[in-house]
Amino acid sequence: SQKIEQNSEALNIQEGKTATLTCNYTNYSPAYLQWYRQDPGRGPVFLLLIRENEKEKRKERLKVTFDTTLKQSLFHITASQPADSATYLCALDAGNMLTFGGGTRLMVKP
């Protein structure tokens, strides 16, 4: 079965620095991978998706990379702000079906 792993430990960084979150997967080669943000007490919100042949995708201060050889996606937030503090989830896209990782909590300190 598909397995998708994110660092379960919280990531603490200083405001202004770049946050890098990792998503690793096994037993599957997804054509797409999606990233979501989840704030406490709320449902996840879609941020970005990347296709296997895109390697890198950007949206404002967000950047996602997708390495199908390493079976890994990296999610970067540049010039991080305290408002970026949240849990970030990655998800394998299996065709209208998503398998989510456990999420990584990001804390940006002022």
Residue 110 beta carbon to another protein: minimum distance, rounded to whole angstroms: 27
Stretch that binds another protein, among 12-20, 28-36, 63-71, 78-86 (CB under 8 A): 28-36
Compare residues 14 and 26 and give the one whose CB is closer to another protein. 26
Strand ranges in the chain using DSSP code E only, listed in sequence order: 3-6, 11-14, 19-26, 32-38, 45-51, 56-59, 62-67, 72-77, 86-93, 98-100, 104-109
Residue whose C-alpha is closest to residue 77's, from 31, 33, 11, 24: 11
* 77 forms part of the interface with another protein (CB under 8 A): no
Selected binder of another protein within 21, 98, 106, 108 (CB under 8 A): 98
* 110 forms part of the interface with another protein (CB under 8 A): no
**Beta bridge partner(s), residue 44:** none
* 46 forms part of the interface with another protein (CB under 8 A): yes
